Structure 1
Amino acid sequence: MTALVEAKGLKRFYKVGSGRTRGTLHALDGVDLSIGTGESVGLVGESGCGKSTLARVLARLVEPTAGSILFRGEDIAAIPLRRFVASPVRPRIQMVFQDPTESLNPHLTVGEAVADPIRRLTGVRDTAEIDRRAHAALERVGLPEVLIGRYPHQLSGGQKARVGIARAIAVEPELLILDEPTSALDVSVQAVVLKLLADLRDRLGMSYVFVSHDLDVVRLLCERVVVMYLGEVVESAPASALFEAPAHPYTRALIAAIPDPQRRGARPPRLDGSPKSPIDPDPNACRFYGRCPIGQPVCGTTKPPLKPVGAGHSAACHFAGPPAETLGSQGQ
């Protein structure tokens, strides 16, 4: 599969505190990620793992501290944000935000909200052509024309979510980044929006980066899953391989937390304690060490690299492998 986007060594640090308490928060710390043309990639992990920061860095809404983002071979991370706004790559990468209410301008009607990026990013100045493209985008997401003149406060949550999607696809992007686009919606509406996203991907051939806490949603929508923990990628695999044979103990704990009647009575892997602080983390230790159910002393002194464990499957663990294999390694 041809790579559309290749992120290499992405870092995003924030200075926090002051004086003696001053430190550096490692929101992203050396992330590598490849997204193929037409591929759908899911980013998962608990709150604070860095997945939303990664989404915003890829969308060039946040400047990376270090690293590169190759979009069809061009390093767009090297383009300052103030110049990237006018870059021809800008309309090729669009984002759908988590809260459709907060992301829509309350002073713009539905039609104006969808037409705005067309006017700003495509160079089209003909009003009739802008309206035609806006109407086509709204039709693609299933919104009737009667809503075009309404304002966000006059719409339901599902309708606002569709407007956000229409606004993003109106400029015909190659990469659509979705930051938990259904988390603010009722369950019944979530299903409708997810089906819409799956249909749009098939019809328009876009690549997706889908950020979510819901692993069931990721399993249905994504071909490949990337698991993050405290700013780092700990596992990456085709969705089928990851859910059938997770290699990292953190991934196994996430999957075990999914309600499943077939596992009734089974005890899921237990994660004791809370994640470590992302401020000035120990560069020589696995960030999951101390919380990991199979952690060994080596984990506290040597950081495990992200290494292959199968076809297209990699994990950052000294004892990476299926549960039985991992337990055998632990006992050695």
Structure 2
Amino acid sequence: MTPLLEVKSLSKFYPIKRRGRGARLHAVDDVDLTIGAGESVGLVGESGCGKSTMVRLLGRLIDPTVGQVLIGGEDLTAVTQAQFAASPSRRRIQVVFQDATESLNPSFRAFQAIADPLKRLLGMTNGAELDKRVRATAALVGLPEELLQRYPHQLSGGQRARVGIARAVAVEPSLLILDEPTSALDVSVQAVILRLLADLRARLSMSYLFVSHDLNVVRLLCSRVVVMYLGKIVEIAPAETLFTASLHPYTQALVAAIPDPARRGGARVRLDGSPSSPIDPDPNVCRFYGRCPKGADICTRVMPPLRAVGPDHFAACHFAPSPPGETDER
């Protein structure tokens, strides 16, 4: 699959003061990732693993410490975040945020919220053309025309979610980043919005990066899943492979935590201990060491690289098997 998005050695470190000396919190640490044209990729992990920082980095809402974000071969990190906001390439990556109530301007009616990116990024100034485009986009996401003159506080949660989605897709992006887009919604509304998102991807041929805590949703909507832990990617696999044959102990624990009546009474993967500190972590120690049930001496001496363990399957674990034909050097 031809890559649409390429992430190369991407890192984001935040300086902090600690015991009178400078230190850095490693929010995202040396991440490599690709997303193909038309592909839907899930990004999962516990709170604090770096998902939200990845969203901001890929959406060019913040600048990386080091690394590159390329879309269609164009290096989006060649300019600063402030400069990128006015770049014609801004339209190529759009973000649907977790809480539409917080992300929508309370002084903008729904019509204005959808029209704003069209004016800023596409330079639409013709009133009739703008009106037609906004109404067509509203229809695309199932937002009735009579709601376009309402303010966010006058809309239901599902309606605000549709406005947020419409605002993002109005400029016809190549990549849509969905940051927990249904977490603030009732369960019945979540299902409707998820069906809408699946339909939009098929109709508009967009790529998705779907960030979520809900692994069942990721399994339904994504063809490939990326697992993060303390700023590092620890496993990448096709969705079905990840849910049935994951190889990293952390991924196995996440999958085992999914409610499943068929597993009732079966063995659970238990993670004891506490997460390592993300502040200046030892580059030679596996981030998962201390919680991992397989932890061994080598995990304290060598950071496991993210390596191929099967077809389109990568894991950062010393105990993951090597693909057939390769020598296991553990």
- Shorter-chain TM-score tier: over 0.9
Query: SS of 1:22's equivalent?
Result: strand
CA contact (8 A) 1:248 1:321 kept: no
CA deviations over 1:164-217 (Å, ceiling 9, x no partner)? 000000101110001000011111111110010000001000000000001000
Aligned-residue CA RMSD (Å)? 1.3
The aligned counterpart of 2:270 is: 270
Q: Report the alpha carbon displacement of residue 19 of structure 1 after superposing the two structures with TM.
A: 5.5
CA distance in 1, matches of 2:58, 2:305: 23
CA distance in 2, matches of 1:4, 1:93: 11
CA deviations over 1:137-169 (Å, ceiling 9, x no partner)? 110110111101000000110110110000000
Query: SS of 1:142's equivalent?
Result: coil
CA distance in 1, matches of 2:88, 2:2: 21
Q: Report the alpha carbon displacement of residue 86 of structure 1 after superposing the two structures with TM.
A: 2.1
Alignment of 1:39-58 (within 5 A): 39-58=39-58
The aligned counterpart of 1:64 is: 64
Alignment of 1:208-247 (within 5 A): 208-247=208-247
CA distance in 1, matches of 2:7, 2:38: 17
- Deviation above 2 Å: which 4+ runs of structure 1? none
Matched, 1:286 2:286: yes
Q: Report the alpha carbon displacement of residue 267 of structure 1 after superposing the two structures with TM.
A: 2.1
Give, as a single letter, the amino acid of the residue that structure 2 aligns with 1:71.
I
Q: Report the alpha carbon displacement of residue 245 of structure 1 after superposing the two structures with TM.
A: 0.4
Query: SS of 2:183's equivalent?
Result: coil
The aligned counterpart of 1:80 is: 80
Matched, 1:299 2:320: no
The aligned counterpart of 2:108 is: 108
Distance 1:82 1:39, change over 3 A: same
Q: Report the alpha carbon displacement of residue 80 of structure 1 after superposing the two structures with TM.
A: 1.3
Q: Report the alpha carbon displacement of residue 21 of structure 1 after superposing the two structures with TM.
A: 5.0
The aligned counterpart of 1:17 is: 17
Query: SS of 1:185's equivalent?
Result: coil
Matched, 1:163 2:186: no
Alignment of 1:124-143 (within 5 A): 124-143=124-143
Matched, 1:145 2:136: no
Name the stretch that deviates more: 39-48 or 121-130. Answer: 121-130
Q: How many pairs align? A: 324
CA contact (8 A) 2:253 2:271 kept: yes
Give, as a single letter, the amino acid of the residue that structure 2 aligns with 1:252.
Q
Give, as a single letter, the amino acid of the residue that structure 2 aligns with 1:60.
R
CA distance in 2, matches of 1:238, 1:40: 11
The aligned counterpart of 1:99 is: 99
Query: SS of 1:56's equivalent?
Result: helix
CA contact (8 A) 2:274 2:290 kept: no
**Structure 2, unaligned runs of 5 or more:** 323-327
**Structure 1, unaligned runs of 5 or more:** 323-328
